[in-house]
Amino acid sequence: MHARELSRREYLRAMTAAGLATVAGGAPRLRAAEPSAQPKATADTVILLWMAGGMGAPDTFDPKRYTKFEVGVPVDKILSTFPAIDTVVDNIKLTEGLENVAKVIDRGTLIRSHVVADLGNILHSRHQYHWHTGYVPPQTVACPHIGAWIARVLGPRNAAIPPFINIGQKLEGHGESEELKAFTTGGFFGTEYGPFNLPFPDDAVNAVKPPKGMTPERFAARHEKFKELLKASPVGEMASDHHHESMLKSIENAHRLLTSKERDAFDITKEEKKSYDAYNTGRFGLGCLLARRLAESGARFIEVTTEYVPFLHWDTHENGHTTYARMKKEIDRPIAQLILDLEQRGMLDRTLVVLASEFSRDMMIEGVPGSTAKDQSRAKTDKLGELKHYGLHRHFTGSGSVLMFGGGIKKGNLYGETAAERPLVTTKNPISIRDLHATIFHAVGISPKTAFDVEKRPFYATEDGKGVPVLDLFAKGK
C-alpha cells in the first residue's frame, strides 16, 4: 500500500506554496479550534461516485413492487420497472442489472433514507450545488466543494498529486455548464484547493504531460532555461516578496507534478489489460479505474461522475427503463471492481467510497407530495402506451439511495427504510445532506463544526456547523 500519510506539519512543508498562497493572500483563516477536538479519522481518502442527473432508487438500489411493461397498464401502478435480485446479504435486495454490486454489498452500507431538500422548481444543478457544497444556492459567498474542504483542511496525501481530483465531467459546452462550475470549485479557498478536472479518463495523462507536440526533453530543457533566466534577472531584490516567492513555488509545484513518477497513475493505458477491460464499460468505468490508480498514488479526494448533461444519462425525463438498463451496465461492473481492487490492495479500510446522487426519481411524483415543483416529465400519460412511458422520470426528493464502502463504515449493513407504496418517502432514519456530509467529514477526521472566517463571518464545513455524523453507520471500535 502506498498511503504515505503526511503529518500536518510535513504537509505544510511539502506544500509551502499552497500554504504561502493562502495564508498570504488574505484567504480565509481557520478559526480557533473548538473545545471539542477533531474526530479520529477512519479514512484518509475519499472516492465519491457521483450519479449525476438524479438516480432513481426504485430502479437501482431500492426495489419496490415490479410491474412488467405492457401496453395499457396504468402508470400509477408502477413502482419499479426492474425485478429485484438477491445479494450476498440476506436482507438487501437490489434491482436487476446490479449483479456485480450485489456481490460486494457485504463490504459496505446501503442507505435508503437520504432525504434532500425540495428547492421548488427543480433544477439539477441547484441540487447538485447543494449536495456538493452543503449549502443551498444562491449564496452570498463562493462556497467550496466538499472535495475542496477536505483538500483545504487535510492537504494532499502526496504533494505530487493534487488533493482534489474531479473525473468525468465536461465543464464547457452545454446548457448548465456555468451552473456546474459554480460548485465545481475551491470557492473561497481559492484554486489551490479547487478541482483538478479530468473530464476524459483516457485523456487524463495529457493533463500531466508536456503540452501536445512537445517532447519531454524539450519540456525539461525549457524549464531549466527558465530557471537560468530567472537567476540572471536583476529583479533579485524582490525575492523577499511574498507575491514573488509564492509565484515561483507554485511554478515549481506544477513542474514537480509534471515530472514526478506519480504521473503514471494518470495513464490508464499502463494498467494491465485484464484489469483495464474489467473496468472498461465506458467513461465512467475508466473513471473508476483512474480513481483507483490515483488513490493508490496518494490523491486525497476523488470524484468520478457519470457526467451531468441536461436530459442525458440518469437525467431521464422519458424512456427511463431503457436508459437505466444502459446506465446500470455502465456502473455495475466498475464499482464492484473498484471495491474489490481496493480491498485486495489493503486500501479499503482507509478509503471511503461513497455513491450518491442529487435526488431520486419516481414515476408519478415531482418533488415530494405537496411540492410546488413543476412536472418535468416528457412522457406524460395515464397508461403505458410505448416504452418511453416506462421508467422513472419525475424528480423525487423524499428518499434516495446512497452507498458507502470502506473507511470505517459498517459492512453488510442496510440503513433506513422507505415506504412500500407510493409516495415512496423515507419511513425510518432519514439522513440529510448536512448529516451525510458530517458523516463523511467525521470519517476523514474533520469536525462538521470546522469553520473558516469569510468576510469576518464563520463559514462551516456543514451548514451553520450543525451537521451531525451518523455514528451508527460506523463499525464498532472505529
Partner 1 sequence: MRLLFSLAMLAICTNSVVAQPDKKTDFAHDVVPLLKAKCAKCHTNGTYKGGISFDTREELLKAKAAVPGKSAMSEIHKRVNSKEEAARMPPPKAEPLSAKEVAVLAKWIDDGLPWEPGFSFKPATYLAPLKPRKVAVPPAKTVGREHPIDRIIDAYHTSNKVTAPAKLDDEVFTRRVYLDLLGLPPTTEELEAFVASKNDSKNADLVRRVLAENRSYTDHWLAFWNDALRNEYKGTGYIDGGRKQITAWLYQSLLENKPYDKFARELIAPTPASEGFAKGIKWRGEVNASQIVELQFSQNIGQVFFGANLKCASCHDSFIDSWKLDDAYGLAAVIADKPLAVHRCDKPTGKTASVKFLFPELGTIDATAPKAKRLEQLAALVTHPDNGRFTRTMVNRIWHRLMGRGIVHPVDVMGNRPWSEDLLDYLAVYFAENNYDLKKLIEHIATSHAYQSKAVPLAKEIAGDGYVFRGPELKRLTAEQFTDAIWMLTGTAPLKQSAAFQGALPPFPAGVPKERQFVRTTLVDCDALMRSLGRPNREQVVTTRPEQLSTLQALDLANGQTLTTTLDRGAANILKANPKATAEELVEWVFVRALSRKPNAGERDAAKRLLGGKPTAENVADLLWAVVMLPEFQLVR
Beta carbon of residue 327, minimum distance to partner 1 (angstroms, whole number): 25
Beta carbon of residue 359, minimum distance to partner 1 (angstroms, whole number): 12
Q: What are phi and psi of 365, to 5 degrees?
A: -105, 125
Give the Cα-Cα-Cα angle 170, 269, 306 (nearest 5 degrees). Answer: 30
Beta carbon of residue 333, minimum distance to partner 1 (angstroms, whole number): 32
Residue 26: CB atoms within 10 Å: 7
Q: Please choose, from the candidates 131, 133, 134, 150, the residue with its C-alpha nearest in 3D space to the C-alpha of residue 46.
A: 150
- Rule CB under 8 A: is residue 396 a binding residue for partner 1? no
Residue number with CB closer to partner 1 (75 or 258)? 258
278, 336 contact by CB (below 8 A):
no
Q: Establish whether the linkage from the previous residue to 210 is cis, with ω within 30° of 0.
A: no
Residue number with CB closer to partner 1 (148 or 268)? 148
**Cα gap 306→419, rounded to integer Å:** 28
Residues 398-457 that bind partner 1 (CB under 8 A): 432-435, 453, 455-457
Residue 301 per-residue DSSP state: E
Residues 217-276 that bind partner 1 (CB under 8 A): 218-219, 221-223, 225-226, 228-235, 237-244, 246-248, 250-251, 253-255, 257-258
Which residue carries 507554485 as its cell?
250
Binding partner 1 (rule: CB under 8 A), the pick from 44, 62, 96, 179 is 179
Residues 126-165 that bind partner 1 (CB under 8 A): 126, 129, 135-142, 162
Residue number with CB closer to partner 1 (240 or 269)? 240
Beta carbon of residue 392, minimum distance to partner 1 (angstroms, whole number): 21
- Rule CB under 8 A: is residue 324 a binding residue for partner 1? no
* Burial class of 270 by CB neighbour count within 10 A (0 to 12, 13 to 18, 19+): exposed
Binding partner 1 (rule: CB under 8 A), the pick from 6, 14, 18, 78 is 18
Write each residue from 327 to 366 as x if it is in contact with partner 1 (CB under 8 A), else as -, in one continuous string.
Answer: ----------------------------------------
Residue number with CB closer to partner 1 (223 or 329)? 223
Residue 23 grid coordinates: 495564508
Beta carbon of residue 188, minimum distance to partner 1 (angstroms, whole number): 10
**Cα gap 265→205, rounded to integer Å:** 8
Beta carbon of residue 288, minimum distance to partner 1 (angstroms, whole number): 23
Q: Please choose, from the candidates 427, 430, 418, 426, the residue with its C-alpha nearest in 3D space to the C-alpha of residue 65.
A: 418
Residues 23-42 that bind partner 1 (CB under 8 A): 23-26, 31-32, 34-35
* Number of residues this chain uses to bind partner 1 (CB under 8 A): 104
Give the Cα-Cα-Cα angle 55, 58, 62 (nearest 5 degrees). Answer: 100
Residues 68-127 that bind partner 1 (CB under 8 A): 115-123, 125-126
- Rule CB under 8 A: is residue 13 a binding residue for partner 1? no
- Rule CB under 8 A: is residue 170 a binding residue for partner 1? no
Q: Please choose, from the candidates 257, 292, 297, the residue with its C-alpha nearest in 3D space to the C-alpha of residue 3.
A: 297
Selected range binding partner 1 among 82-90, 209-217, 273-281, 408-416, rule: CB under 8 A: 209-217
SS3 337: helix
What are the angstrom distances between the C-alpha of 35 and each of 447, 454, 468? 11, 21, 16
Beta carbon of residue 461, minimum distance to partner 1 (angstroms, whole number): 12
Selected range binding partner 1 among 67-75, 86-94, 179-187, 384-392, rule: CB under 8 A: 179-187
Residue number with CB closer to partner 1 (162 or 407)? 162
CA atoms 245, 13, 19, 163: torsion sign: positive
Terminal-to-terminal C-alpha distance of the chain: 20
